[in-house]
Structure 1
Amino acid sequence: MDLGFLALVLAVLLGTYVFLFGFLKKVNEWRYVSSLGEKKHSLPPGDMGWPMFGNMGSFLRAFRSKNPDTFIYDLVKRYGRTGIYKTYLFGSPSIIVSIPETCRKVLADDERFGLGYPVSTKQLTGKKSFHSIPNSEHKRLRRLTTAPINGHEALAMYIGYIEDIVINSLDEWASMKEPIELLKEMRKVAFKVITHIFVGSSAESILGTVEKHYTDLNYGLKSAAINIPGFAFYKALKARNTLVKILQGVLDERRSKSQVNDPNEKRGMVDLLMDIEDEHGQKLQDEDIIDLLLMFLLAGHESSAHAAMWAIIYLHDHPEILQKAKEEQDQILKKRPSTQKGLTLKDIREMNYLQKVIDETLRRTSLSFANFRQGFSPGYLIPKGWKVLVWNRGVHMDPEVYSNPKEFIPARWENHTPKAGSFLPFGAGSRICPGADLAKLEISIFLHYFLLNYKLEQIKPGGPMVYLPLPRPVDNCLAKVTKQRIIHFQTKEKEHSPLLYIEEAVTKTIGSHIPV
């Protein structure tokens, strides 16, 4: 074949590709931007990507690489550090915000911004979960459900129970000849705690049956809502249906046991949800209770399990920080009265350096890469109906907000109060994660006992990572846990029933509509 002709064919093909590429890249721009008329000139910089897929390709490439922050860094490089960019992600035209002040405004403004989670999240968590309900309903249900897990004073009732689980788990891990997957084991610890709080005596009967289903559910939460075998959403939807049946069984069991006055029966938040009445005397439907339980049991163990694992990894990667954290826990142990058995709320409040370690872990890991919102009313920069992605990870890894953001530096929190919108591990505003205090309490107790008595030996330190749905080592931190010294711990006696506190707290919140 004549080389000149071949060159001409290649040139035509290349030109056709460039033309189609440029044309297709403009389709979303025309569809979503041009329809705004003159207001399009007020939109922030950015591009809308490909038809149907938008910029999901760029997002997935970044989050499947070794450096997921290249996604937001690329926007900054292309359009400047404006902190606000237009794009098309998760099936919707969207605005990304990534500087503290803008993030704060979006998360604090319930009048102009509602929830904007992907279709997959809404379907998998249910219509009564906090991911789906409007602001007015959210305020009411939040008052009813978060009394037992909001504030350390409320959580003090659970310290002894958490200690029992942690101590027994650590002893079990250290006795194993084969390495454990630390993340998997931490999930079990955190799940035992949250099920105890919300399900009471029925917790033990469901622990062994739900763990795998929750893992499958979590992997589908922010996936494409494609209900076809082979897709994450399909598997997650099957997991949700199974979990709904299990939790319905819990409700049925609780109703049957409520007919028998058993003094040994431990009630949980589920019992109060079943009894609760609104101002019209209406009780929550089973479907609503199950959606709430499904969400709390999911959120109540994933974040704390991942954060505890990462704290241990970071500490062992930085021996000098590990030593300082150990010394603080030694001092707390030495100051403890001889008559005291186990930790107290006062002890935990004195773990000043450990709290810096935890905060730095939450910042560095950024377990939730974004919060999802949606504009209610037309605005100067954010059109009505567009999604708003508060890019938590972008804030936490911004060198102008945190110097050397990739470094693990607990000392950066010395005498430092984060500026509003600059520290978002649990979100912000009225929809801040209600389990934040519980998560930090669990992590503190776990680290206290781990630092005093145990050591981690990762099988593949620095191994490959995945960042979706949450950052974790591919091997779930495969490691040996070894005991450093033997100390016999005895947790303190529980002086009060945890449910007594729940009943008192919820009754104070909503008045006489709870028959207790």
Structure 2
Amino acid sequence: MDRLEFLSLSALVAIVVSLFLFFFSFRRSKANVPPGSSGWPVMGESIKFFRLGPQEFIKERTRKYSQDVFQTSLFGQKMAVFCGPIGNKFVYANETRSLAAWWPLSVRKALFFPEFVESPTDEISSLMFISIRDILKPEALKQYIPVMDSMAREHVDSQWADNEVVKVFPVSKKYTFDLACRILMGVVDAELVIRLAKHFTLVTAGLFSVPIDLPGTPYNKGIKGGKLVRAELMKIITERRKEMSENKSETVRRSNFLSRLLLVTDENGKFASEREITNNIVGLLFASYETTSSAVTFVLKYLSELPHIYDEVYKEQMEIAKSKSEGELLTWEDVQKMRYSWNVVCETLRFIPPLLGGFRDVVNDFNYAGFTIPKGWKTLWTVHTTHKNPKYFADPETFDPSRFEGRGPAPSTYVPFGGGSRMCPGKEYARLEILVFLHNIVTKFKLEKVNPQEKIELYFLPVPKEGLPLRLTRHK
């Protein structure tokens, strides 16, 4: 064998050995990650996820792969899905150490200005978490109840009172969006609210879609809707900043969430820009709008299906109504009396939670349940591994508000609002909004489903396929 042949053979052997070592080391490095499937290149398992819905998708994979954690690929990201109360608790407890907040690219591109899309989620929403603590304190929330009640009465008079049948989902969305604009931004211009709601509908349709930016796709429409929403908000913010600079009244300056954001400064005393504030307002609208209207819709669904539950809620709400003089608005003390009604809401959120769960970014490798979760992966905790699991809720397909009496469910099994440091800060706001709305419906109408066979479509948000048409009968 001459020198050239020897060198060629040596090079070939070196290549083969290198490839073998590469694949061996690759397989070995991957051998300890959670079991599961990555699906198709780029698309991953997103199509299956949307086709099956999150509940069935997760149930199928926990049965096939692991009851602790499994891997998948969604939204173009390698993802570890944590299961059960132990998985939920682990995610909640490891914020800032191994995990950081993360939203899918389709969400960030639809909601935020392009220059912020690649920024860490915590940086984008930092203003929101600084100011939301003030606006959602009990003393602040008490002031919102009369506003909620007044707007709920107006809404019932205009959208419900003169109709024999009402489609609950679209009209409840109108109420929750109108209320969010009033309380969060102080916006009362009806035409402006209608425009914002129209644009925001485009945004929510594309938020959790497959991120393909082609004309006509939900993702493309979501991005366009986001641009329109941000443009409207920029006008509102610029005008509000001008008003506040001219009016030094503390009441005006701290009357709503937007006004408080305009007062926030960094460590150098610099105020946030209009674009930063817009990002935070959009994020808050997204967090409060669809989820609350979904909760309201499904509470009324179960009240229309379960007469014995309705009767107990009606009894409780009428006791409160009879204690009020004509025209007197609800108070904080009234809402605290709605204990059974809140148990019904909680059981509704167990049955049909408004959100799938929450995402995180893995910032450091860590071990969990005998598996390695690599840096760069994303994680997902989800309500769908506990809420209908008979290990944690006996007879889970039975609607039973008594589950929430006394100490209630075991920790980290009931998680419609998340948990840990990132538990939804708007939980109490949502509680008040839902109960006040419920009071105004139940004290006026008996409810009956028009189509008892109506299906619910489960994506990231549950949606009644026909909008939940209910037949109304006024109380005599």
Smaller-chain TM-score range?
A: 0.7 to 0.9
Q: CA deviation at 1:289?
A: 0.6
CA distance in 2, matches of 1:177, 1:203: 25
From the superposition, tell whether residues 414 and 259 of structure 1 become closer, same or farther in structure 2 (CA, over 3 Å). Answer: closer
Q: Report SS of the residue matched to 2:100.
A: strand
From the superposition, tell whether residues 136 and 211 of structure 1 become closer, same or farther in structure 2 (CA, over 3 Å). Answer: closer
CA distance in 2, matches of 1:74, 1:184: 32
More displaced stretch, 85-94 vs 324-333: 324-333
| In the alignment, structure 1 residue 44 sits paired with structure 2 residue 31 | no
What are the Cα deviations for residues 5-58 of structure 1, in whole angstroms up to 9, with x where unaligned? xxxxxxxxxxxxxxxxxxxxxxxxx9xx97755343332222222222222233
CA distance in 2, matches of 1:142, 1:463: 39
CA distance in 2, matches of 1:478, 1:209: 25
| In the alignment, structure 1 residue 88 sits paired with structure 2 residue 86 | no
| In the alignment, structure 1 residue 441 sits paired with structure 2 residue 429 | no
From the superposition, tell whether residues 300 and 56 of structure 1 become closer, same or farther in structure 2 (CA, over 3 Å). Answer: closer
Q: Report SS of the residue matched to 1:69.
A: helix
From the superposition, tell whether residues 136 and 270 of structure 1 become closer, same or farther in structure 2 (CA, over 3 Å). Answer: closer
Q: Report SS of the residue matched to 2:177.
A: helix
| In the alignment, structure 1 residue 352 sits paired with structure 2 residue 346 | no
From the superposition, tell whether residues 129 and 330 of structure 1 become closer, same or farther in structure 2 (CA, over 3 Å). Answer: farther
Query: Which residue pairs with 2:173 in the alignment?
Result: 187
Q: Report SS of the residue matched to 1:93.
A: strand
Q: CA deviation at 1:89?
A: 1.8
CA distance in 2, matches of 1:218, 1:210: 12
Q: Report SS of the residue matched to 2:315.
A: helix
Query: Which residue pairs with 1:362 in the alignment?
Result: 349
Is the contact made by 2:100 and 2:363 (CA closer than 8 Å) also made in structure 1? Answer: yes
CA distance in 2, matches of 1:119, 1:180: 36
Query: Which residue pairs with 2:312 in the alignment?
Result: 324
CA distance in 2, matches of 1:460, 1:163: 30
CA distance in 2, matches of 1:290, 1:203: 18
| In the alignment, structure 1 residue 420 sits paired with structure 2 residue 407 | no
CA distance in 2, matches of 1:193, 1:359: 22
More displaced stretch, 471-480 vs 241-250: 471-480
CA distance in 2, matches of 1:379, 1:469: 27
Query: Which residue pairs with 2:376 in the alignment?
Result: 385
CA distance in 2, matches of 1:88, 1:215: 27
Query: Which residue pairs with 2:463 in the alignment?
Result: 472
| In the alignment, structure 1 residue 162 sits paired with structure 2 residue 166 | no
From the superposition, tell whether residues 414 and 221 of structure 1 become closer, same or farther in structure 2 (CA, over 3 Å). Answer: same
CA distance in 1, matches of 2:43, 2:346: 35
What is the root-mean-square deviation of aligned Cα atoms in Å? 2.8
What are the Cα deviations for residues 394-425 of structure 1, in whole angstroms up to 9, with x where unaligned? 22122212223233221222223333321221
Alignment of 1:210-359 (within 5 A): 210-258=196-244, 260-261=246-247, 267-334=255-322, 336=323, 341-359=328-346
**Which of the numbers 347, 371, 380 marks the counterpart of 2:358?**
371
CA distance in 1, matches of 2:170, 2:390: 33
CA distance in 1, matches of 2:467, 2:246: 44
Q: CA deviation at 1:288?
A: 0.4
Q: Which runs of 5+ in 1 are unaligned?
A: 1-29, 486-516
Q: Report SS of the residue matched to 2:297.
A: helix
Query: Which residue pairs with 1:397 in the alignment?
Result: 388
Q: Give the aligned residue type for 2:358.
A: N
CA distance in 2, matches of 1:450, 1:303: 19
From the superposition, tell whether residues 43 and 227 of structure 1 become closer, same or farther in structure 2 (CA, over 3 Å). Answer: same
**Which of the numbers 62, 68, 83 marks the counterpart of 1:98?**
83
From the superposition, tell whether residues 407 and 69 of structure 1 become closer, same or farther in structure 2 (CA, over 3 Å). Answer: farther
Is the contact made by 1:115 and 1:131 (CA closer than 8 Å) also made in structure 2? Answer: no
Q: Give the aligned residue type for 1:384.
A: K
Aligned length: 448
CA distance in 2, matches of 1:46, 1:418: 30
CA distance in 1, matches of 2:108, 2:290: 18
| Identity within the alignment, % | 27
CA distance in 2, matches of 1:130, 1:316: 43
TM-score normalized by the length of structure 2? 0.86
Is the contact made by 2:146 and 2:330 (CA closer than 8 Å) also made in structure 1? Answer: yes
CA distance in 2, matches of 1:139, 1:130: 14
Query: Which residue pairs with 2:3 in the alignment?
Result: none
Query: Which residue pairs with 2:44 in the alignment?
Result: 54
Q: Give the aligned residue type for 1:49.
A: G
More displaced stretch, 463-472 vs 210-219: 463-472
More displaced stretch, 192-201 vs 379-388: 192-201
| In the alignment, structure 1 residue 200 sits paired with structure 2 residue 190 | no
Is the contact made by 2:132 and 2:425 (CA closer than 8 Å) also made in structure 1? Answer: no
More displaced stretch, 242-251 vs 450-459: 450-459
Is the contact made by 1:360 and 1:410 (CA closer than 8 Å) also made in structure 2? Answer: yes
Q: Give the aligned residue type for 1:299.
A: A
Query: Which residue pairs with 2:7 in the alignment?
Result: none
Query: Which residue pairs with 2:93 in the alignment?
Result: 108
More displaced stretch, 386-395 vs 436-445: 386-395
Q: Report SS of the residue matched to 1:314.
A: helix
What are the Cα deviations for residues 132-183 of structure 1, in whole angstroms up to 9, with x where unaligned? 64557756641223421x2443211011111111112212234334633211
Q: CA deviation at 1:444?
A: 0.6
Q: Give the aligned residue type for 1:414.
A: E
CA distance in 1, matches of 2:119, 2:416: 20
What are the Cα deviations for residues 346-385 of structure 1, in whole angstroms up to 9, with x where unaligned? 2211211111101111111121113111211111221111
From the superposition, tell whether residues 476 and 75 of structure 1 become closer, same or farther in structure 2 (CA, over 3 Å). Answer: same
Q: Report SS of the residue matched to 1:437.
A: helix
From the superposition, tell whether residues 331 and 36 of structure 1 become closer, same or farther in structure 2 (CA, over 3 Å). Answer: farther
Q: CA deviation at 1:341?
A: 2.4
What are the Cα deviations for residues 425-461 of structure 1, in whole angstroms up to 9, with x where unaligned? 1222222222111111110111122222212333323
From the superposition, tell whether residues 415 and 50 of structure 1 become closer, same or farther in structure 2 (CA, over 3 Å). Answer: same
What are the Cα deviations for residues 259-293 of structure 1, in whole angstroms up to 9, with x where unaligned? 65498979432223223222201110111011111
CA distance in 2, matches of 1:469, 1:136: 24
CA distance in 2, matches of 1:426, 1:303: 10
Is the contact made by 1:45 and 1:79 (CA closer than 8 Å) also made in structure 2? Answer: yes
CA distance in 2, matches of 1:268, 1:443: 20
From the superposition, tell whether residues 160 and 190 of structure 1 become closer, same or farther in structure 2 (CA, over 3 Å). Answer: same
CA distance in 1, matches of 2:168, 2:248: 38
Q: Give the aligned residue type for 2:256.
A: G
CA distance in 2, matches of 1:353, 1:479: 23
